Amino acid sequence: MFMKNMVFLPALLAALLASGPCGAAGAQELRPEAVNKASLASIPPERPPKTPPRPEPAIVRLQVLLDRAGASPGVIDGYYGENVSKAIAGFEALRDLPVDGKLDPELLGRLSGDKPVIEPPVIEPYVISEEDARDLVERIPEDYSEQAEMKHLGYTSVAERLSERFHMDIDLLKALNPGSAFAVGDTVSVAMPGAAKEGKAKRIEARRRGGQVLAFAEDGSPLAVYPATIGSDETPSPSGTHKVKGVARMPPYVYNPKVNFKQGDNSEILTLPKGPNGPVGTVWIDLTKPTYGIHGTPEPSHIDKFGSHGCVRLTNWDAEELAAMVKPGVIVEFTD
């Protein structure tokens, strides 16, 4: 009942940005000062029908501000995708505004006032430390039997570690830092999404159709909103109301093909080591419904784009934030 195994996709955008005239133009458009000064008023009220060829500075700024406000856009990538619309609707709910998922003057005013320069900036410099380069692994094999032989399912590069720490798509990180080797001592530009939201959740709502998870406080007000993958057509999530049983951080993953799903040619029970690139990411929120939980993912850019094996999948950082808000007994309701 856990997440579907995904083939790791090549970073096509990063390759384009790193080569030829188009790459140079993309890098110029993604200078940190351009993002920090981008006007939110330039963003259309509704999501455009076509995806632009490269990340947009104003969308990067919007995503960071939404993240800071507790309405997670998932991965900050600079594209006006469905998760941005969800985050806008989530922000409206958090601020008790009419919920339609559209940008309007009142929402922009609540978000930042759309000043030419904001404090703190959404993009800031960061010096890569020795700690950032520790415990990296060469690669994460697709096959679970190979993963089970590893000691740690860690990050495969400094860039991957930084992109996750700062809630960024790795292609956006590379676009903001064209030509960087991401070596220890290098100064790079990163998004600054802000500190994790705090609070005590009384109830969690997993909205299957909308692909969102909402955490509610004791008084019924929303605390935070996250984009989520909630089951799939082949393996739907549970229905009804359940409870949080417990939280495991950096959990190993026990693969049992008779209980979970069939992965490749593996027919035996395997124990995969812990790590951010493990099948359930960095945290597992166990539910009273056996084998089901709310968990992280090694592929944050896939949130609500690919199905899961019935569980609720969030980005690692969103799952960690939610885990800090819950305790055993918190209600988890699955709705349509």
Chain position carrying tokens 């885990």: 323
Helix (H) / strand (E) containing 244 = strand 240-249
The question of whether 295 is a catalytic residue gets the answer: yes
Q: Is residue 270 part of a domain?
A: yes
Q: Is residue 299 part of a domain?
A: yes
Q: CA–CA separation, 276 vs 301, rounded Å?
A: 14
Chain position carrying tokens 């006007």: 39
Q: Which of 167, 242, 309, 311 is flagged as catalytic?
A: 311
Cross-strand pairs, 222: 216
Q: CA–CA separation, 85 vs 83, rounded Å?
A: 5
Q: Is residue 244 part of a domain?
A: yes
Token output for 140: 């994460």
Q: Is residue 65 part of a domain?
A: no
**What's the CATH code of the domain at 238?**
2.40.440.10
pLDDT tens-place values along the chain, 336 residues long: 433 333 333 333 333 333 333 333 333 448 999 999 999 999 999 898 888 889 999 999 999 999 999 999 999 999 999 999 999 999 999 999 999 999 988 898 888 754 545 468 999 999 999 999 999 999 999 999 999 999 999 999 999 999 999 999 999 999 999 999 999 999 999 999 988 999 999 999 999 989 999 999 999 999 999 999 997 666 678 889 999 999 999 999 998 887 766 677 778 999 999 999 999 999 999 999 998 999 999 999 999 776 555 689 999 999 999 999 999 999 999 998
Q: Is residue 263 part of a domain?
A: yes
Domain that residue 285 falls in: 203-335
Q: Is residue 175 part of a domain?
A: no
CA atoms within 13 A on the CB side of 310: 15
Q: Is residue 324 part of a domain?
A: yes
pTM comes to: 0.87
Number of domains in the chain: 1
Q: CA–CA separation, 252 vs 272, rounded Å?
A: 6
Q: Which of 242, 295, 302, 309 is flagged as catalytic?
A: 295
Which residue, among 241, 245, 215, has the nearest Cα to 328 in the 3D structure? 245
Q: Is residue 272 part of a domain?
A: yes
Contacts for 207 with CB less than 8 Å, ≥ 6 apart: 213, 214, 230, 335, 336
